[in-house]
Structure 1
Amino acid sequence: MILVFGKTGQVATELQALLPDAMFLGRDEADLSNPALCAQKIALLKPGAVINAAAYTAVDKAETDEETVALVNGAAPTEMAKACAALDIPFVHISTDYVFDGSGETPFTPDHPTAPLGAYGRTKLLGENGIRAAGGTCAILRTSWVFSSHGNNFVKTMLRLGAERDKLTIVADQIGGPTPARAIAQACVEIANRLKTEPNTAGTYHFSGAPDVSWADFARAIFAEAGITCAVEDIPSSAYPTPAQRPGNSRMDCRSLKTAYGLGRPDWRAAVRTTINEVNESHE
């Protein structure tokens, strides 16, 4: 049995469709601001593997509540990893491109020096370091720009705003790989299962959609696919200030995941089409 922390997030929702026999713990059953409780759940349930699909992801709010965010993104996954190490079971954890400083134009490799720009990135890095220090069989999967037909994400926001307005100004100097939540869920399951028989494939990996694109061009692709006539005007990040600084370069080098697990970068364009269809169906 696979135990999943998270129930309502984008990846957790997709995992529920993939793993009907898994156990999912939402915030009411395992609040990540109580790390010891998360470890107790693992020790009590003794699952075959654990996937952590829960996190504090409100990037801007994190800037004013870093202590709480550090519990959820740092201490909780660390305690999960320790509990998994004690039982000798695989642990798969989802992390983020925000652990890097977003400089340059070269895709970041998993072993590139980390230098987070804000609280969210710092706390996710805290979790990564704690997981590695736990010494168990674990895989950290860094991803970026997650989207699906569930929850809040850029694709759904663009579909809503594009239908309401004639023109939108979108940041054009941040580049990254939009990643379908469904593909992340599939990757997590594949990794968890492989770690059981091939613990030597443990490590830190990158997984993002292809091709890399700016937020502005991503918006244009969404509108084109949805048949929305809203115009997109490119703006620099400086014209859209936010409490948390966003990385300019979110490109990720995903080759090591392909080598270890045979998992290539998913084409986000096909996933956008699927997402739009699912959103439309949910409104019917």
Structure 2
Amino acid sequence: MKILVTGFTGQLGFDVVREGLIRGFEMVGVGSKDLDITDEKAVYQYVKDLNPDAIVHCAAYTAVDKAEDDREDCWNVNVKGTTYLANASKEVNTKFIYISSDYVFDGEGESPFVETDQANPIGYYGKTKFEAEKVVQSLLTDWFIVRISWVFGINGNNFVKTMLRLAETRDELNVVGDQFGSPTNTFDLSRLLLDLIQSEKYGIYHATNEGFCSWADFAKEIYHLAGDKIKVNAIPTEDYPTRAVRPKNSRMSKQKLVDNGFKPLPSWQDSLDRYLKALKQEVK
């Protein structure tokens, strides 16, 4: 099986390629320097020449705060880029996975969102991710849309690495305690994505590690597992203003995965423990 993975230089794309190679697939990972997904002709020619069996589209404009002001670039990457890839995918008749986000929801309430809940993004980044979802559904038949949240991986920057870095110079931190979601290890997520791509159970899925927590809870567990004695103070969102509004409820139900025969991802605590151990190995 030949699989094209966009966003190879990011956290998830890197792990999807790595997992695919372990499984013996022919993996082709591209970053923005290899393929500009906002160049329609380049995308069409690249996909046509490669003629993959599947495309896993991880590339995205993910600077949530910057997106509020840099709207043109965000739209070009997230919506136009996805449109060009989906059209090219249609031409070569290949399966397509689009990686979406918890930001398509408004974050209201406390119940986990299910796949059929109405999307209502409250920021521009979320709006572009939802528009791209609609593009995929309108252009293709063999598609998967996978909404993810709070990812952390070996390759690239993330919340875990930031917390560990801050621990080097701080003994006390304020972290938002009223936004809830599921931390998600891209290693675990990549395995699920490749299970999906080998199936024909198309549709929208939510895919995160099991369990929910706040950002403050997440930080506390990072320091607990890392053995760092850092005091974490949970603060309200209002005390940590950002350019883009964050959804307070990013809980998502993964029941659809189970109903379709896919194994749930491990708990976020278990995944975080494995991730921290893997980070230590990378440093050696």
Matches within 5 A, 1:146-225: 146-194=151-199, 198=200, 201-225=201-225
Tell me the distance in 1 between the aligned counterparts of 2:69 and 2:105.
20
Tell me the distance in 1 between the aligned counterparts of 2:267 and 2:54.
28
RMSD: 1.3
| 2:155 aligned partner, one-letter code | H
Residue deviations 1:205-238 (CA, integer Å, cap 9, x gap): 1011121000001111110000000000010000
User: What's the TM-score once normalised by structure 2's chain length?
Assistant: 0.94
Q: 2:86 corresponds to which residue?
A: 81
| 1:81 aligned partner, one-letter code | A
2:140 is the counterpart of 1:128: no
Secondary structure of residue in 2 paired with 1:251: coil
Q: 2:46 corresponds to which residue?
A: 41
CA change 1:12–1:152 in 2 (3 A) is same
Tell me the distance in 2 between the aligned counterparts of 1:39 and 1:62.
26
| 1:166 aligned partner, one-letter code | D
Matches within 5 A, 1:60-139: 60-139=65-144
Secondary structure of residue in 1 paired with 2:47: helix
Residue deviations 1:153-190 (CA, integer Å, cap 9, x gap): 11111111123211000000000011111122111111
| 2:220 aligned partner, one-letter code | R
Q: Which runs of 5+ in 2 are unaligned?
A: none
Offset at 1:110?
A: 0.8
Secondary structure of residue in 2 paired with 1:130: helix
Tell me the distance in 1 between the aligned counterparts of 2:10 and 2:248.
25
User: What's the TM-score once normalised by structure 1's chain length?
Assistant: 0.94
Secondary structure of residue in 2 paired with 1:160: helix
Tell me the distance in 1 between the aligned counterparts of 2:261 and 2:35.
30
Contact 1:88 1:136 in 2 (8 A): no
Q: 1:279 corresponds to which residue?
A: 279
Q: 1:239 corresponds to which residue?
A: 239
Q: Which runs of 5+ in 1 are unaligned?
A: none
Alignment length (residue pairs): 279
Offset at 1:93?
A: 1.1
Secondary structure of residue in 2 paired with 1:164: coil
Offset at 1:261?
A: 4.0
Contact 1:6 1:54 in 2 (8 A): yes
Contact 2:167 2:228 in 1 (8 A): yes
Tell me the distance in 2 between the aligned counterparts of 1:204 and 1:214.
25
